[in-house]
Amino acid sequence: MKFWSKRWKSLTKIGVISAYIGLPAIIVTYFIWGISIWNYFIGESINRKIFEKDDTHFKILIVPFNKICEDGGFDVGKVIKDRLDDLNKKDSLNLKLNYLDYGITDNFNEDSAQHLMNYHYADQIIYGSYATTDCNAEGDEVCFNYITDSIWDFGSIQSSTMSNEFQSAGFKEIKEGELQGNIDFIIYLIAGLSEYRQREFRNALSKFLYIEKILQISDRKYLVY
């Protein structure tokens, strides 16, 4: 009986020791497994093409604007995307929009934007930087950049890539479309010409009249040359 008692105690000690060793190992294994799955899905979401190559919509990719000040500010890219969504619904502009919400580094530049636009089969990419009163003595300012694919030809307003041209603009101004006149000009011209070719003359005329309105208010810094 004593023999079995000692043996049972030995087995119990072995079991406890195994539990102490095995439990952390199991936890670590599941943790690594979970991280691998997470990284896989994150990688898939970033690497997956956003637009179809043969999609006939005018495809606009918007990325988060680089935030210069650590505090304050707002999501400039998201505000722009929401505004374009509203215009698309209101005026049937045949746009396909995507806000690629992922971390933009300070090194994001014209080449980065061009690569991203080409990779995702976009017709246009919108990006830029902004500073707020939290660190900028000049107040809220935005550097608004965009690139339009070379399959389109819009002359002097094809792209705006200067990374140091900041202009005064806060949430209200961006929401109302200031600095975005070139974008509006391009998307309304494409939509108008498309409807004209389809003999939808009334709809085409409404797009061209909106372009005239854009030109009339260019003194409000609506257009960027």
Q: Domain ranges in the chain?
A: 1-48, 58-220
- Cα separation of 49 and 29, whole Å? 32
What is the pTM (predicted TM-score) of this model?
Answer: 0.76
**Cα dihedral 192, 197, 199, 202 in deg (nearest 10):** 10
pLDDT reported for residue 219: 44
Residues 6+ apart with CB under 8 A from 128: 65, 66, 76, 142, 143, 144, 145
CATH architecture for segment(s) 58-220? 3-Layer(aba) Sandwich (3.40)
- Which residues in the chain come in under a pLDDT of 70? 1-46, 217-225
Parallel, antiparallel, or unpaired: how do β-strands 66-67 and 141-148 relate?
A: unpaired
pLDDT reported for residue 21: 56
Q: pLDDT of 137-155, one tens digit each?
A: 888 999 999 999 999 999 9
Residue with tokens 């854009």: 214
pLDDT reported for residue 49: 92
pLDDT reported for residue 4: 47
DSSP 3-state of 148: strand
